[in-house]
A and B are shown apart, each in its own frame.
Chain A
Amino acid sequence: MDMYSQIVEKIVRQQESIIGPIAIERAEAVSGLSLDWPNHKVTISGDQKTVIDNLVDQYKALFGQVSVEVSKDAARKVAGVTPELLPKSLQ
């Protein structure tokens, strides 16, 4: 998986540990995001940064800023990630 797919995988995994299957439901509702979650495979179509921003927005609508912080923490765990490469919502 490319870096942005890995970021999505990490974010969804982290959110799943907090809110359970709702994390997957919210991710599947994001346009441009395709999940094969039993295999933890993520496919992004379209602008990757926008898709991630929309994913973070989904979680923010649920839990507020804490979801954004959880997403930021998760994204930082992906190897090779630098602030410039991150979508706006994760900077």
Chain B
Amino acid sequence: MINTILKSKQTYLILALTAVIIGWWLVIQAGNLENVYLFNWSYGLIGLSSAIYGWHIARKKWGGYSSTVGKLLTWLGVGLFAQWVGLQIWTYYNLIAQVEVPYPSLADIGYFGLVPAYTIAAIMLAKVCGIKFSLRSMKGKLVVVLFPLLALSLAFGLFVKNVGFDTSNPIQLFFDLAYPIGTIIPATIGLVVLFAANENIGGKMRSRILWLIGAFVLQFLTEYLFLYRSGNGTYVNGGFVDLMYALSYAVMGLGLVGFSQLEE
């Protein structure tokens, strides 16, 4: 997989954008807060270019929506594109509406779009990895039951239990519950695949599958960090969370590049 990544021009686009973003982030941390909203808008380009590339590879190499791998790549692209849409709207609120942290807002239509998109992608990943064969074993059955229970416990323990069920703002209540529960689902499915189907996944695709699972986990950690910081009022535009978002888009983008070629 590394050879495939190194040979692709898309890799260097992603790395160049990421390098610029990291450099810019360091400048922001040094105290130069000018254009911090533009910084946020800019790192979305990593996700956007990766989304477009993912759709291109899905169609060109994997039969588009007619194959399970094609569907996997397509929905990963949808998730990245949804995040880009969310960033556009978020930046509008920052720059035009002068709202520092617009939550909940129309931006969440984009941001939350990641959840169903990545969930569908994760389900496709599980199908590709033959999860149905793994469910024939006791270990597989145990993992499929235990991991979601652990994930829901984590979501509840860290966030859901602190949600005040104030129905005067039903939209905020929905997102306060949906984000911690929803964002853990793709990573949970990925980890179920890793632990239940690990022996079945081999060949050239193994490294690619593992990379995607890692990307799901990184995205989940980023989302939870955002929830934690925004929950306790410590989220700032251009902060560590935004760097994590940029890196999570880059990692997923490189994962998509891995599917552009199966090197011999």
Asked if A21 and B204 sit within 8 Å, CB to CB, the answer is no
**Interface size, B (range):** 20 to 34
Asked if A22 and B204 sit within 8 Å, CB to CB, the answer is no
Given contacts A20-B61, A21-B63, A61 and B69 within 8 Å (CB-CB): no
* Nearest A residue to B206, CB-CB: A64
Stretch of A1-9, A35-43, A44-52, A65-73 at the chain-chain interface: A65-73
B199 cross-chain contacts in A, Cβ below 8 A: 65
Asked if B203 and A67 sit within 8 Å, CB to CB, the answer is yes
Q: Which of B62, B66, B69, B201 is close to A66, meaning CB atoms less than 8 Å apart?
A: B201
Asked if B204 and A66 sit within 8 Å, CB to CB, the answer is no
Q: Residue B183 at the A interface, CB < 8 A?
A: no
A69 cross-chain contacts in B, Cβ below 8 A: 130, 133, 200
A70 cross-chain contacts in B, Cβ below 8 A: 130
The distance from the CB of A68 to the nearest CB of chain B, in whole angstroms, is: 9
Most buried by A among B68, B130, B197, B199: B130
Near A by CB (< 8 A), chain B positions 131-174 give: 133
Q: Which of B64, B66, B203 is close to A63, meaning CB atoms less than 8 Å apart?
A: B203
* Nearest B residue to A19, CB-CB: B69
B70 cross-chain contacts in A, Cβ below 8 A: 20
Given contacts A19-B62, A22-B61, A22-B262, A61 and B203 within 8 Å (CB-CB): yes
Q: Residue B205 at the A interface, CB < 8 A?
A: yes
Which 6 pairs show the lowest CB-CB distances between chains A and B? A64-B202, A20-B63, A66-B130, A20-B67, A66-B200, A20-B62
